[in-house]
Structure 1
């Protein structure tokens, strides 16, 4: 008898893309924990389409999956197919995002706390004119990170200048256009001394713009971001994707085993210093 004959069944995993390192890590770790518990994982990529998301849910139910893990699209409104799973109490866990005012299982990183720590770090270094570069704030992740940014200022009694917030339509973010637009924004706001970006992709584009400004005008702008952009001179907030994945699978198995007690789990994040900052701190101590 083959090993596959012992499978307890299928688990469906729906995610918007496989472009980012975070998404790739989620696939890696979720597959690991699903397999470890005797199930097989099947994956559907929605490419940020709620229609594809709904079709994937329909397909998985026809395949008689035991449960679903869903990394929702960036859309502002909830997908009715996801809401139906919740109403049916079908075993499901949302990762990275959650539904406001709707009782369901979800696992997210501490987005607000992480951004608060990062922006507080910049404020403690004397930066007050801090730019924010973000996709349109349409989901719980960007909303929580924006709240963390604001909270850092409010707790210190410092006024936020939201004219220094550069908000981009997600469909318009690209390697060919975005660095130039960020450069124009930074040149139009010479008072900015530091920038916080909402994700690694925007951090890479901002880094290109900052490099250009530094070479042309000798103006230095400090950059912090959520998630590693793969740049040694950038301090960033690191999510614990392994722990997020482990908790997600545990919550799903709890439902498959017959327990239904919706909860939201927050997984701690960590501020990781750039090589430059680590070297500076070492020299100071």
Structure 2
């Protein structure tokens, strides 16, 4: 009898381990390198074996994390962040909402609208605040799973990577929607604003007024929001054939912001770049700091410097990019209910934004 090709032998062994329960849904499978060493084959052979199983829908690859056993919709169970599989009640009528903070009016509008649409759909909303802690985020997700919520809406903390708890929810196809941010490497349900177009419109507005030295002030690029807003800034220049002076970018680390160092850093930045005549900030917190710092540097707004930000800053003469939080929340609840009722067609929805001028 002719022996199996080596890549098929690897696939057969992985299928057998899944069938007997040695590899469970959500478990990480050996890497291409590990399989190559174990079976004494090339990494091309081990890669082909894994790719074939991914095409069958048995495995899924997550960039920077590894390859995992894909959850099957017909036997999916809730998997908590500790790796414990639990069968919850079929329907509880409750939805978990995970927010990083409640400091801003934007946060409050998200909560108000999500509660409104969840209640209208017949669901009770359970709120937990993570205070920008990824560890707390994991605990909250685990707690919601143990309490048997039907699904979750998650506004992830600002961090370079999403925590494993969210990735495991995705692997298990537990009903959840990410709001404001999305996973780059994994196809999940998410709803976010059109950050790229919004920032591009803000920059174009300043360019059309003749501003040559335009600064970008933002938290460091650690998530999809800051990444997209920086992309929008760049695109505005590139589409006009203009060069981008990254010396006019002031990116503040999350540690600096948390330690209250933003004011000092921004004052130093403005003092070192006296030619700046226009600024785009990524959020209202930084906008307010820039407004005060510019006045202190004798460049009052808008007389000596123009400023545009995301979300209403409640400052005179400062245009802003308005997000449609109501529509974002309506779509988020709609997508979550779709999953709770058995549907699964993961997708990202992008909601338009609008530049509001005085």
Residue from 122, 125, 128 that aligns with 2:206: 122
174 and 111 in structure 1: CA distance in 2 versus 1, 3 angstrom threshold: same
Deviation at 1:147, TM superposition (A): 0.3
Q: Which has the larger radius of gyration?
A: 2
Q: Find runs of 4+ consecutive structure 1 residues off by over 3 angstroms.
A: 174-177
Aligned residues: 267
Q: For the structure 1 residues 175 and 232, does the alpha-carbon distance in structure 2 shift closer, same or farther, using more than 3 Å as the test?
A: farther
Describe the shift of the 1:65–1:8 C-alpha distance in structure 2 as closer, same or farther (beyond 3 A).
Answer: closer
| 2:216 equivalent to 1:132 | yes
Please list, as runs of the form range in 1=range in 2, the aligned pairs for 1:1-285 lying within 5 A after superposition: 9-173=93-257, 177-214=261-298, 220-274=304-358
- The SS at the match of 1:173 is helix
Return the offset for 1:18.
Answer: 0.5
Query: Normalising to structure 1: TM-score of the pair?
Result: 0.90
Quick one: higher RCO (CA 8 Å, sep 6+), 1 or 2? 1
Per-residue Cα deviation, 1:158-203 (whole angstroms, up to 9, x for no partner):
1110001111112222695422321221111111111110000000
Q: Offset of 1:85 from its aligned partner?
A: 0.5
Deviations 1:71-109 (CA, angstroms, capped at 9, x unpaired): 001111121010010011000000010000201000000
Shift of 1:60: 0.4
Task: Structure 1: state its 5+ residue gaps.
Answer: 1-6, 275-285
Deviates more, 1:199-208 or 1:124-133: 124-133
Q: Encode CA deviations 1:190-229: one digit per residue, 9 max, x unaligned.
A: 111111100000000000011122369x971111111111
Structure 2 CA distance for aligned equivalents of residues 172 and 205 of structure 1: 13
Q: Is the 8 A contact 2:92 2:149 kept in 1?
A: no
CA distance in 2, matches of 1:167, 1:47: 21
Q: Distance in 2 between matches of 1:8 and 1:51?
A: 26
Query: How far apart in 2 are the matches of 1:174 and 1:11?
Result: 30
5+ unaligned residues in a row in structure 2: which ranges?
1-90
